[in-house]
Structure 1
């Protein structure tokens, strides 16, 4: 779940409110089950604040980790991303538990117990991370409101952070459950299916060139053929592969000879 609260359109704020609600629900659930009896001595209201605070700490840490990985430009598979996020989340939550234990009870957690504590926290962090990804694919699916007078490309780009909304769309490529949006202002990952993206871009001047790629015609700089395999070179320098299934459409569009 995203932790980067940016100013944006009504869809952005709807998403943020949903995130806050989900954090609150997870905090309430953990208050009720009280894993490992960690908050057993606290009154109910304090236990709720305890668990919700830990959920927020873990969530913000995980999302900071994901943002750093996305901005690095490295293509990290979603399973690996989830694993790394769960570890950084567990580290942050473990540190917060150590702090809260010192503040609430005035006791320091014995160093010998810390590995076990981290292991217990990581199990919960991994579960919450997995649930978060599933929720993001459903409840927190990107919301885009049609913009009057805007082109399909502009409307599609309105779901991205502000800096991309004036960019020129070059291509869209699928990576697991995510899409990598290639633009004149760089790249961004969003949670969306390629089929849904192409449905939104149906009126745009572009076409599907591979089972995992959609390309805008004016985003293509050149073509490249190596070993019988054709690819389109985008204005950014990235190459979009062209599968045999779509070669006829690519040639008909004038993008290849």
Structure 2
């Protein structure tokens, strides 16, 4: 089964499970019929999960990368709570129950608190799924495991770099480039132990993929063997130097 379909089925199972629990415990609404409450939570949880598809990469991979986890969680929950509250407001309105506007700030705080709990739970689950390495990881295995995600012709290629493009990754190799559906944060974890390092919020680079380095207006730039320029952000300069890339 393709990874994309697996992830969507997993999301659906999580949404239905959380919705059932919230309905059972009567969170937020105890007077409406069970099916109304359950449908409400299915819709709001679906909106939350769909929003997180955009917010998670932005918060953890780009805008707030390297910040304290509580800060990342708080910002993520705050952003997700906006469309979730809007969906809740419209859903109740569809049944003729329009929430007074002056109560919306308080309702937002309720939604935010729940979003924080669910975001922390999701973060812990994701972290638990990443097994701690026993000893030093095998760089060949890490690189090959990642290359196995690509079409067959790339399976024995030299991995040069990986860059983030929305929900996709562009993989640079000596045999050309390929797009795959994956987050950069997941790729970096999978490539742990390989001879390379993340040098930018949108780039991971292998040592073997760099042909030269240069300074562009004082900023460090890595040049891949195919001539592609890779920026090195200040956040990752120390890591790039430690990896021998600068």
Whether the TM-score (by the shorter chain) exceeds 0.5 is: yes
Name the SS of the counterpart of 2:230 in structure 1. Answer: coil
Counterpart selection for 1:114 from 101, 104, 108: 104
Which stretch has the larger CA shift, 189-198 or 38-47? 189-198
Partner of 2:172: 168
Distance 1:74 1:64, change over 3 A: closer
Q: CA deviation at 1:189?
A: 4.1
Correspondence for 2:222: 233
Q: Judging changes above 3 Å, is the alpha-carbon distance between structure 1 residues 32 and 114 closer, same or farther for their aligned structure 2 residues? A: same
Assess, with a 3 A threshold, how the Cα gap between structure 1 residues 151 and 13 changes in structure 2: closer, same or farther. farther
Match of 1:14 among 6, 11, 15: 6
Unaligned runs of 5+ residues in structure 1 are: 1-8, 171-182, 202-206, 226-230, 251-255
SS in structure 1 opposite 2:107? helix
Q: How does 1:95-106 map to 2 (within 5 A)?
A: 95-104=86-95, 106=96
Which residue number corresponds to residue 124 of structure 1?
A: 114
Question: Does residue 1:31 correspond to 2:36, yes or no?
Answer: no
1:4 aligns with: none
Equivalent position SS for 2:36: helix
Task: Give the secondary structure class of the aligned counterpart of 2:222.
Answer: strand
Distance 1:184 1:218 in 2: 18
Contact 1:69 1:76 in 2 (8 A): yes
SS at match of 1:168: strand
Q: In 2, are the aligned partners of 1:15 and 1:140 still within 8 Å (CA)?
A: no
Quote the residue 2:137 is aligned against.
Answer: none
Please give the TM-score of this superposition, normalised by the length of structure 1: 0.60
* Distance (Å, rounded) in 2 between the aligned partners of 1:140 and 1:18: 17
Structure 2 unmatched ranges of 5 or more: 132-144
Partner of 1:83: 74
Shift of 1:122: 0.8
Equivalent residue of 2:5, what SS? helix
SS of 1:41's partner is coil
Once residues 190 and 129 of structure 2 are traced to their aligned partners in structure 1, the CA distance between those partners, rounded to angstroms, is 16
CA distance in 2, matches of 1:237, 1:191: 17
Q: How many residues align?
A: 206
SS of residue matched to 2:104: helix
Once residues 40 and 234 of structure 1 are traced to their aligned partners in structure 2, the CA distance between those partners, rounded to angstroms, is: 61
